Structure 1
Amino acid sequence: MESNTITALLQEAATLLGVGMSMVFIFLSILVVSVKLMTKIVLAFPDNSQLVSPSAPPKAPAPAVNDEQTITAIKAAVSAYRSGNVSQ
Structure 2
Amino acid sequence: MKSETVSTLLVEAASLLAIGMVFVFLFLALLIAAINLIAAFCRKFPGNFPAESSSVPLTKPLATPSRKIDDTTLAVIGAAVHQYRKQHQSNVKD
Once the two structures are TM-superposed, the CA of residue 36 in structure 1 deviates from its matched residue by: 1.6
User: Counterpart amino acid of 2:18?
Assistant: G
Q: What's the RMSD between the two structures over aligned residues?
A: 3.8
Match of 1:67, SS state, is: coil
* Structure 1 moving runs of 4+ over 3 Å: 56-59, 61-66, 71-76, 78-85
Match of 2:11, SS state, is: helix
Encode CA deviations 1:36-84: one digit per residue, 9 max, x unaligned. Answer: 2101211221111x32496x7657x78854423xx449967x8589756
Query: What is the correspondence of 1:42-53 to structure 2 with a 5 Å cutoff?
Result: 42-48=42-48, 50-52=49-51
User: Counterpart amino acid of 2:17?
Assistant: L
**TM-score of the two chains, using structure 1 as the length reference:** 0.61
Q: Which residue of 2 aligns with 1:15?
A: 15
User: Counterpart amino acid of 1:67?
Assistant: R
Give 5+ residue unaligned stretches, structure 1: none
Residue 27 (structure 1) aligned with residue 39 (structure 2):
no
Encode CA deviations 1:9-47: one digit per residue, 9 max, x unaligned. Answer: 100100000001110111011111101210121122111
1 CA distance for matches of 2:4 and 2:62? 80
